[in-house]
Structure 1
Amino acid sequence: MLVHICCSVDSHYFLQRLQETFPQESLVGFFYNPNIHPYEEYLLRLGDVRRSCQELGIGLLEGEYALEAWLEEAKGLECEPEKGKRCEMCFTMRLNASAQKAVELGIKRITTTLLMSPKKSLPQLESAAKEVERAFGVSFVSVDFRKGGGTQAQFALAKEAGLYQQNYCGCVFALTAQREAQKKPCVELTFSLANQIQPGSINERLELYETSQPKRRQRFLNYRLNHARVMQKEQVIPSYVLFYSLPSKPLLQGEWKEVEKGIALFSKEPALMLTLEVFNALVATQFQDLKQLLASPVGVEKELHVRQKLEGALFSLTPILVVEHIPQGKTTLSLEATLFDDVRELLATFR
């Protein structure tokens, strides 16, 4: 039996139940999910499914990551709600590819772990399955392992196995609608230009799930810098903005007064500017110029270490900027950022 797999949380319990229910069947996993966006999220879910299948002794095949083809099919359906026509299209596309793979392999029966997801419509899945049966001549195995406490057992097993429990369906349209309802930015769609690993990001999760150690969840205040620029007489002064820098206004004009060698205060509101030399001394680095720092920034933990040293508190929101030289005279500071409550995953260690 070929089993289309959407994610490890749905598949881990589902595959075990299939093994128990159909002991005579040899199961082949097929990961085909071109709807998942961005690609890093796709890699994260694929890696977790691989670990799950290895543990269960089930072979896994990977289908094509055909995102552009999926987006083409989704045209006109972008604003459809969950369980709407976009989901119907998505189910049909994924089951068609699964049936085609089954025919290539000479397999007569297929099913999908989407049947396990409590957020998916069983009638929609069964409708898509009937189309696939007619088109490819395969038999679709429709099982409902949700009932009788199956959903609760599914999530308990996923937690026990340390599986990655994603916080959105997978497609970009469902994600943006969900984040708009939560009044939170789509951090899943934003990446540091210099590949800095930022808290709560998919890249942080990718690193975390490279280990099989137990994880825990942490509620925290997340931060994303949207825009920053220091100007003087229509000239941009290259600068680097530290994590948690949040001014009271997005546009400020004033002067920087040096209070210690290489450290200056802003005249209009709480803000700090320090030279690259001072920054290097605080984080024990040897950046030769600001271009080098911008291209290969230190980790967020080191930026918070600088904030702690200068402000005496991690919860400070004072804008802190790194420059090569403190500017003399009036400057314009344009800085916009977003601060929001969020949840991230960490290793379940405390020492």
Structure 2
Amino acid sequence: MLVHICCSVDSHFFLQKLQRDYPDEKLTGFFYDPNIHPYSEYQLRFLDVQRSCKMLGIDLLEGEYDFEAWMIAVRGLENEPEKGARCEVCFDKRFDVSAKKALELGETKVTTTLLVSPLKSQEQLKRSGDIFYEKYGVEFIAVDYRAGGGTQDQSRVTKEEQLYRQDYCGCVFGLTMQRDQQERLMDEMFSPISNQTLPASIEERLQMYRFRMELEDKNTEYKIIKEKFLNYRQFSFKLISGKSEIIPAYALTYSTLTRKKAQGRVEFESKNIHYFNREEIRFVTLEFFNSTCGFEYKTINELIFNQPNLNDELKFRNTLTYTNYDLSPIIVVDDIPQTKLTIILDAKTYEDVREKLIII
């Protein structure tokens, strides 16, 4: 039997049940999910599915990540709600590819772990499965493992096995609507051009879950916990001279402005820190930044496109402010401007939760 897999949270419990109910079937997992966005999230979910299938002794195949083809398939359905027409088209595309993969492998049965997801309509899935049974002759096994406390058992298994528990279905349209309803920043879509790993980002989780695989290979015990913290995202930043010229500049992480704009001049200097006369803004030279942190940046543009590790930025901020709670803009420039300046900084701090791995 070919089992289409969407994520480890659904698949681990689902595959355990299939192994019990179909002991004579050789199960083959097929991870085909071009709807998942961004690609880093796709990588993270596939990584955890690989771990899950290895634990259960199930062979796993990976389908093509043909995201552009999926986008074309759901065009015009971007604003459909969860369990609506977009989801049905999404199922159809994934069933079509899964059924063809089953035929290619000589399988006569196919099913999907989407059946166990409380976010999906089982009737919708069954309709799609029956259509492809008639079309390809591949039987769709529509099991219901939600009933009889199944959803609670699934949650228990997820916690016991420390599976990656994503908090959105997968597609960018569902994510957009979900974050709008929650009035939350859609920070999953943030990825700096420098590839700096941001706190509580998908990339940070991906690094952590890769590390956990290394620990398991060494039989090292660990726990994954959650912690609350103050997160930060910077949308845009510009430093403009009185002559309306853009001055190359870099605003450190956790730099914020109340009204997103400030005008004034650098007023005085103390211990290589140059103080602006508005909004608690501070300027430092790239030379001072390099010497304090041990960096060798030659230009501000190099700094912008190759940002340091976030922890190194925070250490530098702490040396200037002597506190972990400072949100003042700290701006790095080649030379301290001696003219009137306009600072435009759009950034947001917000309460957030992230996962943390603890070695026991």
Which residue of the partner structure matches residue 31 of structure 1?
A: 31
Distance 2:116 2:98 in 1: 17
Distance 1:324 1:258, change over 3 A: farther
SS in 1 for 2:94: helix
User: Could you tell me the percent identity over the aligned residues?
Assistant: 47
**TM-score normalised per structure 2:** 0.94
Q: Which amino acid aligns with 1:28?
A: T
Which residue of the partner structure matches residue 55 of structure 2?
A: 55
Query: How far apart are 1:153 and its partner, in Å?
Result: 1.7
* Farther off after superposition, 16-25 or 227-236: 227-236
Q: Is the 8 A contact 1:48 1:164 kept in 2?
A: yes
* Farther off after superposition, 136-145 or 273-282: 273-282
Q: How do residues 188-337 of structure 1 correspond to structure 2 at under 5 angstroms?
A: 188-212=188-212, 213-232=222-241, 233-337=243-347
Q: Is the 8 A contact 1:109 1:139 kept in 2?
A: yes
Distance 1:338 1:299 in 2: 20
Which residue of the partner structure matches residue 219 of structure 2?
A: none
SS in 2 for 1:216: strand
Query: How far apart are 1:52 and its partner, in Å?
Result: 0.8
SS in 2 for 1:214: strand
Query: How far apart are 1:291 and its partner, in Å?
Result: 2.5
Unaligned runs of 5+ in 2: 213-221
Distance 1:137 1:247 in 2: 62
Distance 1:68 1:287 in 2: 38
Q: Which amino acid aligns with 1:266?
A: F
Aligned residues: 350
Over the aligned positions, Cα root-mean-square deviation in angstroms equals 1.4
Which residue of the partner structure matches residue 81 of structure 1?
A: 81
Query: How far apart are 1:348 and its partner, in Å?
Result: 2.5
Q: Which amino acid aligns with 1:153?
A: D
Which residue of the partner structure matches residue 161 of structure 2?
A: 161
SS in 2 for 1:249: coil
Distance 1:292 1:84 in 2: 46
Distance 2:53 2:281 in 1: 52
Distance 2:9 2:258 in 1: 42
Which residue of the partner structure matches residue 171 of structure 1?
A: 171
Query: How far apart are 1:59 and its partner, in Å?
Result: 0.5
Deviations 1:81-104 (A, max 9, x none): 111111111111111111111011
* Farther off after superposition, 56-65 or 181-190: 181-190
Q: Is the 8 A contact 1:184 1:340 kept in 2?
A: no
Distance 1:180 1:303 in 2: 31
Which residue of the partner structure matches residue 116 of structure 2?
A: 116
Which residue of the partner structure matches residue 215 of structure 2?
A: none
Query: How far apart are 1:161 and its partner, in Å?
Result: 1.6
Distance 1:4 1:247 in 2: 48
Q: Is the 8 A contact 1:262 1:277 kept in 2?
A: no
Q: How do residues 132-171 of structure 1 correspond to structure 2 at under 5 angstroms?
A: 132-171=132-171
Distance 2:71 2:181 in 1: 23
Distance 1:331 1:182 in 2: 37
Query: How far apart are 1:219 and its partner, in Å?
Result: 1.8
Q: Which amino acid aligns with 2:298?
A: Q
Deviations 1:179-228 (A, max 9, x none): 11122222111211111000111111111110224321122221111111
* Farther off after superposition, 333-342 or 284-293: 284-293
SS in 1 for 2:210: coil
Deviations 1:237-278 (A, max 9, x none): 111111111111212110012322431111122111111122
Query: How far apart are 1:349 and its partner, in Å?
Result: 4.9
Q: Which runs of 4+ in 1 moved over 6 A?
A: none
Query: How far apart are 1:113 and its partner, in Å?
Result: 0.4
